[in-house]
Structure 1
Amino acid sequence: MDALYLLLIIFGVGALCAWFITYKILKKRYDEKNAKLEAVFYNRINEEVTEKEEAIDAAIKEKNETIGKYKNRDIYREAEHGKLLDELHKSIAFHQNRSKAIFNKAVDFAFDFEKIFKDQHQNAQEEIQRVLDDTYRFKRKTLLNSITLRNFEKKLEDIRKETSIYQSLIAKYDYFELKDNADWDVVEKEFRDKVSALQQLQDEREAQNEVKRQMREERQRAEELEKEQLETELKEQELEARRKAIDEALLAADEEHRLELEETRRKLEQEIEEVHKRYERAKSLAQMTKQGHVYIISNIGSFGENVFKIGMTRRLEPFDRVSELSGASVPFEFDVHAMISCDDAPALEAKLHKMLSGERINKVNLRKEFFKADIGKIIECVEKNHGKVDYIVNPAALQYYRSLEMSEELISINEPSMA
């Protein structure tokens, strides 16, 4: 209250000072104008007296006329003085009313200042909070929607940067109590859910591709077996026709050529028997839907030592599958440690994968058939479920070791030149 009374006294003193200064300015203007008029009057009187000194009568007459003239000017001057005085009173009244209005407004503002300041502060705080939250949510949503399995690590780093920027902006405004609504746990969960969904879609596509690949292998295997059956059948028919021709020739042959024809007939019968076995084998393979090969391969140049891929193929030429895996996606060819032929290849593959599940590298996507283990342990698992097999512990890996040798040769050539 003391400060308020002091403020009121200051405003009152200011208003009185304004009124007194205005009055002094107007009074000074009036006195200056009156002094000028009087100076003009006396100058003209003196000039007329000097010029008309010898003609007293005419001067007196002219003086009387001049006095009469200036009597009218006195009347005009009094009227003008009254007009200026009225303007002065109006100006004083205007400034008094204006000072009173300013004083009343200052008093009202002094009483309502705290409430007005709090309301405006709260509105500004809510607006800044809303803008920061909306901007952060928009950027977060944009980054989450643009995530793919190739860029998800970079997008996670971008989301962390945006969160850090948002939190720094929240802490920047010291005069506002802003809340950190980043909800990093929620953001991280949304990110992981998005990546998991994308991974699941990719796994489904890979599963479908694997099924299609197996179907292609089965179709190719069936076509190859059918072709082999047809070829062996035609070959067997051709050999039977030749044997009949030899039988007919034996009936008409003499003793000298009979031994030679019988030897030829014996060889034909052996060849017919072999062709018939090939035909029966192709027929039995066509009836066996699970026959195939389980392969154990490695790629030391691409994945390092003791990393093996254990898979299954049902192709008649299983090494075609190894060549297919050694395509442009890896820098070196795969090396074969073992190629195991069995009647139920899927069952053997599943047993090996189960026994080596602790050594599996990718435990999320089970279609990634890579294991980090010793070759001896893998072969031990094979022999427990299939029996003795032939295998290679240390394959050649020609391209990899030759590349190392060439690198060493280049280093040895460059060292003298650098020296």
Structure 2
Amino acid sequence: MYYQLYQNQADLMAPFRAAARGFGGVLRQFDNGGPETFGVRQAAATLELMAGGGLTHMRPPFGFTTVMVGNQEVKVEEVVADSTPFGNLLHFRKDTEVPQPKVLVVAPMSGHFATLLRGTVQVLLPDNDVYITDWANARDIPASAGRFGMDEFTDHVMRFQRVLGPDSHVLAVCQPAVPVLAAVALMAEDKDPATPASMTLMAGPIDTRIRPTQVNALALEHDVKWFEQNLIDTVPWRFQGGGRKVYPGITQIGAFISMNLDRHVKAHADQYRNVMGGDSVRADAHRKFYDEYLAVMDLPAEFYLETVKSVFQDHDLALGKATWRGRAVKPEMITDTRLLVVEAGKDDICSVGQTQAAAALCSGLPEEMKVYHLQADVGHYGVFNGRRWASEIYPLVRDIIQPGRAPA
């Protein structure tokens, strides 16, 4: 199978990339920026591109050590608050006695690690007691741990929300918007005391019939059997998850790159010029982005296939047909959870209107408890990362979590 072929190639290239990384670093020490070291810079730039061309399968660090709370700098410690074979509930515990609202950030299980939301967490941290779903790489999960599908994802959201307890909040980015909405509906119907006080859904595929994107169209080109036969593979036996059926991260990252191939080719050409020109700021920014972007994780096969069928093909939640372990999911049972929906005007993954559909589904929620925001000038990632997220979107999140809060 192609997973084993990929792994063989990666193992073969690993020592060459390591050597390129080390030798390139040595060469940079001899570069004085002058014309006499032009050849050194040229060689270092070439080695840089070679070293950075491979994928990794380990989660990069979040890297938070301190944060400002008010006018005080406090320490941040990563603590595992709960754990299952499929992921940890990671708590960014702060060394402060200032009471803050507890917020569960539900990261997408979409081929990248939860650190893709580093910028999201960074902005939330000063005002909130932040937790995040730190999903495990499926190739590191023993097959004996069992299956992980949409029901199990929803289980985890409810389980982790109960760890946070009453008067906490939930924020879902992209794909988890569907199981998060389902989890909150189930908890609301059961009058669970841990039902979130607020729910923020950001660029998530609640109803993909609305203005279908290229991603949505691709999901409809074949039946789910085709996806199983052509995109699902088996983890090689040398890994802890050996024998587990997965949607490999290499397949997902290949799809992402192919959607914007010209942009990635240009980025690497620019990086060559950055190193050649001694622009260390831009070169470091490129390295940081691609170290994260090329860190990939495998998805459990059943989760990927059920997502394709339920969310993108059958539109179960949007059509009122969604179930959790055979029980109907009823978003209309949500009556006390404030709702914020955020979309991006330039989103080529989840188009405008797809997430907004959640507001109509939550028909039992008073209109004054629903807030919709369209950030017209950003794409998909700009909803939860970057300047617009920090300056224009986050204030709305803060207000939905703490209505009536005095401005900072």
Q: TM-score, normalised by structure 1?
A: 0.18
Q: Which has the higher helix share?
A: 1
Instruction: Compare relative contact order (CA 8 Å, sep 6+) and give the higher one, 1 or 2.
Output: 2
TM-score under structure 2 length normalisation: 0.18
